[in-house]
């Protein structure tokens, strides 16, 4: 990326680009990694065989927006070698958030919706809740649900693949 190549951003810095603005991303803490591991184990089950999963993949939504979601799921028949992933190719994006919760919910959700990402989950690393965004439209997602600790959720593309926060 030009900002790194021209010395404007340290190559070791963790950041995303949102509408041309550099957003510094906090280092991942222990709780973030515990939740990522839980989701990772869920994603490694047999239900996801018809899908590919990328972890911390840099996704270019437009020339001014580069994001790096924790996980993204897309159809296994789709090959990145054929063309870069576009929002409409992605069945599910999952972000694990703590200090980035507000940014992930308020800035990323409408951007993902605008680019046609079918479903977007923001899972809080410390609190027992998550936001599930579905049905993208021009001004955000038509459906937003707050999922509590006592509830389970499954992606629309795999309705039998239930993720529970508690067990």
Question: What are the pLDDT digits (tens) for 57-111?
Answer: 888 888 888 889 999 999 999 999 999 999 899 999 999 998 889 989 999 999 9
Domains of the chain (ranges; CATH) run: 26-164 (3.90.1570.10)
Kindly state the percentage of the chain with pLDDT values over 90.
59
C-alpha span between 124 and 99 (Å, rounded): 9
Residue with the larger pLDDT of the pair 31 and 23: 31
By mean pLDDT, which of 6-15, 51-60, 113-122, 152-161 is the weakest?
6-15
Residue 4: per-residue pLDDT: 45
Residue 13: per-residue pLDDT: 46
CA–CA distances in Å: residue 127 to residues 90, 122, 152, 165:
27, 12, 15, 10
Per-residue pLDDT at 7 exceeds 70: no
């Amino acid at each position: 990326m030009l900002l790194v190549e021209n010395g404007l951003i340290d190559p070791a810095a963790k950041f995303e680009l949102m509408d041309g603005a550099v957003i510094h991303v906090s280092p991942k803490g222990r709780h973030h990694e515990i939740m990522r591991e839980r989701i990772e184990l869920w994603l490694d089950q047999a239900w996801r065989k018809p899908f590919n999963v990328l972890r911390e993949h840099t996704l270019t939504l437009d020339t001014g927006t580069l994001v790096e979601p924790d996980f993204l799921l897309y159809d296994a028949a789709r090959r990145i070698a054929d063309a870069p992933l576009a929002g409409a190719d992605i069945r599910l994006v999952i972000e694990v958030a703590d200090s980035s919760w507000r940014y992930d919910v308020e800035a990323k959700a409408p951007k993902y919706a605008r680019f046609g990402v079918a479903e977007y989950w923001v899972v809080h690393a410390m609190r027992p809740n998550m936001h599930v965004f579905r049905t993208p439209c021009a001004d955000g997602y038509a459906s937003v649900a707050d999922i509590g600790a006592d509830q389970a959720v499954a992606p629309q593309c795999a309705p039998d693949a239930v993720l529970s926060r508690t067990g």
